[in-house]
Structure 1
Amino acid sequence: MCAVDEVTLESRPEPGRAPRRRGNPVKRWVTDVVVRPWFAPLAILSCFAAAAAGVAATDPTDNTGQTTCLFKLATGFDCPGCGGTRAFYYVITLNLPEAARHHVMAVFAAPFLAWMYLAWALPRIFPKRTWRLPTFHLTPGLLTAFLAAWAAFTVLRNLPWEPFTFFYV
């Protein structure tokens, strides 16, 4: 074999010029796959599926061992995210009442997040579709109201009397 077989010629090189090489295979893969419009939605969906499989396989509701939440370990109070993994477990096992008991705000936000993901992902995965899902327009006021409700939920779930003790996990 001669040295010319090691390179791919896109066209005949001009006299006196070296033939062009195809380049780094990783760079070609990135150019061919990662920059495609469908790659990001499918990558996010794959990560979500892996997280769901991991949570379903480990069953975070069995209460074995000590808590892994440093805030709860240090203060004894539920943090804004406490119960989120257990709520996610109950959502993927279709036990919505128990999911809401563990983290009602996350269960409330989940359908909106799923809708926003689909409205973003479907045009990228299927660009020839003629219809589009309506999108939410998240204004600063709406985001502020949601974060205020989340903060109120965090405080109320730590109060030691009924009906707030229902949300203490």
Structure 2
Amino acid sequence: MFNKVQAAAGQVDDTGREFLVFTLANQEYGIDILKVQEIRGYDAQTVTRIANVPSFIKGVTNLRGIIVPIVDMRIKFNLENVEYNQHTVVVILNLETRVVGVVVDGVSDVLMLKPSEISAAPQFGTAFSTEYLTGIGTVGERMLILADIERLMTSQEMALVEQAAVA
């Protein structure tokens, strides 16, 4: 039986989904815009380093009374080092179980991708495990790696972030 919920879901499928596009080492990535709380300039002086945590955890910051762990995605994805500059930003994510900040090289735009513009994730090597990929988005000549940021930030390895936030 076709009901209103299925009809609404069908409309979402027809119109597509919005993704925040960010860059890391000249590669564009997309994450579900609904997970993004805000985007802030990166200021290393506001991040408190915590001892004995993996290098991809830059530390924690106080965001309006909430202690937010900050993860450097370039280090997390084992990419080459980059100098932080005026384009470097922290994307504050509001995930199901926590608020996390991710440092990226820059944010370019928000794109609406239709289902026809999203291909299945490849099953070969990428900068990170394909279990965190939801697909590859293509818009004209642009290719975006679409990441399941919720799954990436709640992986077993990222449990260290939770520990860092309460330390």
Same-fold status (TM-score > 0.5) = no
Which TM bucket (shorter chain)?
Answer: under 0.3
Give the TM-score normalised by structure 1.
0.27
Structure having the higher helix fraction is 1
Give the TM-score normalised by structure 2.
0.27
Relative contact order, higher structure (CA 8 A, sep 6+): 2
Bigger Rg over Cα: 1
